[in-house]
Structure 1
Amino acid sequence: MLFQPGKIFATPNALALFSNSNMFPIDLLIRHLSGDFGTICDEDKASNMEAIRDGGRILSAYKVGSEKVYVITEWDRSYTTILLASEY
């Protein structure tokens, strides 16, 4: 784990998406915390690594079925939220 997630939340819509897929929210959370930031661009990946080192918000994006799901850890590591891109 590269950083602490704080409290972990997921929106109802994100949980509903997972209930209809072969993935679980923990799968994306593990990837996020280990530095696999999913489908974001290289510039955003570099920004995430800087945020891990210096403090800042960390954003990952993953595909679950046909939906894009974000995993966002706040700058102060107080919480991490899993939500659909359309909820951002």
Structure 2
Amino acid sequence: MKLDITFDDRALVVTGEFHRAYAATWTDPGEPESFEVYTITEAGVDITDIVSNAAFCEIEALALEAVGGEMEYAREQAAEWKREERMLEQRA
């Protein structure tokens, strides 16, 4: 997954993988949702290895927030399409 993130007034492209949260069971403690960063690029230059640990954690949090926003938008769009579909079915 590729995300455009703004961090410290810098335009970054973050690639990584989103991991959904899952609840705990008797045999598994469960996990919160997370975003695993693979690379961070600025103006096409890979800066992953030179980003401080604190900045890396903040960028991960921003990426997770961006994914959440995309998922929320997708849910809203799906709900809107269902409402429109029902309205069209009622008219027919």
TM-score range with shorter-chain normalisation? under 0.3
Larger radius of gyration between Structure 1 and Structure 2: 2
More helix by share: 2
TM-score, with structure 2 as normaliser: 0.23
TM-score, with structure 1 as normaliser: 0.24
